[in-house]
Amino acid sequence: MIIKILGSGCAKCNRLEQLTREAVAELGIDATFLHVRDMDAIMAYPVMTTPALVVDEDVKVAGRMPGKDEIKAWLV
């Protein structure tokens, strides 16, 4: 599983990455994390706002902070 956090590295982006890493660890999933900060790369996805969470090239959320349980549901 490849998980991408799209965002400039702001506090919300970092928090989304932290929550997602915690969810992955709790579920025991093997995942590779990438934090995409390049605006051209971010604009390649159908997102208007960051932070955004992309799981295996599928955008799960953009522009808001999901809860850990919501993230877990997207990962299973």
From 3.20.20.140, 3.40.30.10, 1.10.10.10, 3.65.10.10, which CATH number describes the 2-75 domain?
3.40.30.10
pLDDT reading at 5 higher than 90: yes
Q: Chain-centre distance of CA 21, in angstroms?
A: 9
Which member of 2, 10, 27, 34 is catalytic? 10
Residues 64, 69, 74, 76, Cα dihedral to 10°:
170
3-state SS, residue 64: coil
Q: Is 13 a catalytic residue?
A: yes
pLDDT score of 9: 86
Mean pLDDT, the chain, whole residue set = 96
Going by C-alpha positions, the residue among 76, 69, 68, 72 that lies closest to residue 16 is 68
Which member of 3, 5, 6, 13 is catalytic? 13
Report domain extents, the chain.
Answer: 2-75
Q: Is 60 a catalytic residue?
A: no
Reported pTM: 0.94
Kindly report, residue by residue over 58-74, the tens digit of the pLDDT: 999 999 999 999 999 99
